[in-house]
Structure 1
Amino acid sequence: MDLNISNKKTALVIDSFDNVAVALTDLKQGEECIIRFNNREEEVTVFEDIPFGHKFAILDIDKDESVLKYGEEIGRMMVPVKKGSYIHNHNMYCERGMK
């Protein structure tokens, strides 16, 4: 696997507990990008277009499972998603604003 990031798109994992990454550029369906976390690098293929600054799963996340960003729960999944799936308000909910 060629992990030369000079020609690869990248995404940011903010905290080692996170299960999402943030796209550092627009990503198109089927593109691979490099994520760095826990002192390693990994390639992830995205399943959908993901705009710059938006989140995608870095591992499978089940329905009602916490979405973790900044090491904190920012919401829960409405549906299960696979690694590389776009995470946004179309498939994630936040109970904090509902209480």
Structure 2
Amino acid sequence: MEINALLMDPKDNVVTCVTDVKAGETVTYRKGEEVCSLEAKEDIPYCHKIAIQDVEKDAEIIKYGESLGKTSESIKKGCWVSHLNLFSVPRDYDSEMI
């Protein structure tokens, strides 16, 4: 099974596809020593994110173990995470340093 996506941190709820993936194809990635896979429900462009679990509306998308923003709609496992369903949320970095 060929790895075609990267998980950056074990806390992430998305992986990044390192090839174009067509709907119905298998997305395969490593989580430590474990090889995981899921079916793409939509076409996922090269270097874009795919949800590896269901994510509710207004939930955080986590990549690199950090929040990239919140969802504007529910995103099902296997679906594309993009600017169409993810928005930035300003962070208070000073308070995070305490």
TM over 0.5: yes
Structure 1 gap segments, 5+ residues each: none
Matched, 1:91 2:81: no
TM superposition outliers: structure 1 runs of 4+ over 6 Å: none
- Counterpart amino acid of residue 71 in structure 2: M
Q: Are 1:45 and 2:42 an aligned pair? A: no
In 2, distance between residues paired with 1:34 and 1:95? 30
CA distance in 1, matches of 2:90, 2:47: 22
Tell me the percent identity: 35
How far 1:70 moved relative to its partner? 0.6
SS in 1 for 2:21: coil
Give the Cα separation in 1 of the matches to 2:90 and 2:52: 24
2:21 is matched with which residue? 27
Q: Residue 59 of structure 1 aligns with which residue?
A: 53
Q: How many residues align?
A: 91
Which amino acid counterpart does residue 92 of structure 1 have in structure 2?
L
Measured after TM superposition, the shift of residue 81 of structure 1 is: 1.1
Structure 1 residue 13 and structure 2 residue 7: aligned?
A: yes
Task: Report what 2:95 is aligned to.
Answer: none
